[in-house]
Amino acid sequence: MRALLPSKSSRVLTAVLLLQCALFYGFSRTELAPRPRPLSQFSIDSGNWRKVRDYQMDQETLDVLKADELLSASFAQTGAGPQVELLVAYFQTQRTGKAPHSPKNCLPGSGFYALQNTTIEIPINGEAKPIRVNKYIVARGDNQSLVLYWYQSRSRVVASEYMAKVYTMWDAVRANRTDTALVRVVVPVQHGDTRAAEDSAVSFVRDLFEPLKHYLPA
């Protein structure tokens, strides 16, 4: 009787085969690839921040990013405070080899090196729980910057690159979608005051989050 029962290794193999079948089915269907509102029209409906500049990327950078929608701009806080640089790169599908480039890999290529690498939680008005994002302190020469970034898709915020890939596979099977966005916020560290830079970045993210949700497909 015991010989007729499946072994543990057989059950694991069966689970792997079922997962492979599900992934093949999810990635073989014609994808539902929603388009977002044009990110060029994005604005923050807050009296705390104003857009001061839009950045135009060169064609070589655009060819590397391969984003379907892109926002690169700087914002200034009403009154005193450093400017904040915002990058939002939206990918309508990841089935054609296009995917967000992790700042963890891009920043060293730009001459920056990490002084600190962790995650933080940011409470957002209207959200049931805080969002968890990556936090980097990076330096190039004598200049330091604080970087916050995360992956956002279907109103889900993910800090981990690994979990972002897992959710991509899950969404491909369950929702027939692989769209996602990389959101990155950069604030210069002035006079070595990383706390002030983090306060500015967190304040910006809290005002940014709700308006940005209306530009990314839910």
For residue 69, pLDDT over 60 is answered with yes
Here the tokens at position 177 are 């979608």
pTM score of the predicted model: 0.83
**Higher per-residue pLDDT: 47 or 67:** 67
**Residues whose CB falls within 8 Å of the CB of residue 89, separated by 6 or more in sequence, listed in order:** 65, 67, 69, 70, 100, 181, 182
Rounded to an integer, what is the distance from CA 42 to the centroid of its chain?
17
Please write the tens of the pLDDT for every residue from 149-186.
999 987 799 999 999 999 988 988 888 889 999 999 99
Please write the tens of the pLDDT for every residue from 101-123.
888 777 666 777 888 899 999 99
> Has residue 114 been placed in a domain?
yes
> Has residue 140 been placed in a domain?
yes
> Has residue 218 been placed in a domain?
no
What three-state secondary structure class fits 47? Answer: coil
The structural domain count of the chain equals 1
> Has residue 126 been placed in a domain?
yes
Whole domain around residue 94: which residue ranges? 2-213
> Has residue 47 been placed in a domain?
yes
> Has residue 107 been placed in a domain?
yes
Question: How far is residue 116's CA from residue 146's CA, in Å, rounded to a whole number?
Answer: 9
The mean predicted confidence, pLDDT, of the chain is 84
Give the residue among 179, 152, 213, 166 at the shortest CA–CA distance from 31: 179
Question: How far is residue 83's CA from residue 1's CA, in Å, rounded to a whole number?
Answer: 72
